[in-house]
Amino acid sequence: MVSRGIYGIIKMGINTAPGKFGIILTHTKGLVGLDTASKPINVMESMVNIRVDELMKEEGICNCPTCRMDVITLSLNILPAKYTSSRSGDIYARFNAASTQVQADITAAILAAIATVKKNPRHPNMAP
């Protein structure tokens, strides 16, 4: 999974080698703002960003910036926030967010948001 956002590009995967289960996180720019005295970030935001494009494509919804942002915003309003302000907190939150149940919740929230946006698009020159 890859997340692109204001904190750089974060690649996340799961190590399933025998005896080595765990989350693999790599980043290309460093996690800006994840020092001890930085502003909090919502880990769910990057988790939604990882899945949103794939699910929008599968559901055949418009992928203009307005519709994409509406889907992300609605999804984040459905999901519980997971804030962190430190690198260790970010890794811990991402580890917990990688659970099957949390991934299912993220997918369900995105699909619900897609259905809402599909029925009521706000982009210019389009009727609902």
Instruction: Of 31, 48, 9, 50, give the one whose Cα is nearest residue 89.
Output: 31
The model carries a pTM of 0.65
Q: Where are the domains of the chain?
A: 35-119
**Cα(48)–Cα(41) distance, rounded to whole angstroms?**
13
Instruction: Tell me how long the chain is.
Output: 128
> 24-81: per-residue pLDDT in tens?
444 444 444 444 446 888 889 988 998 999 999 999 999 899 999 999 999 999 999 9
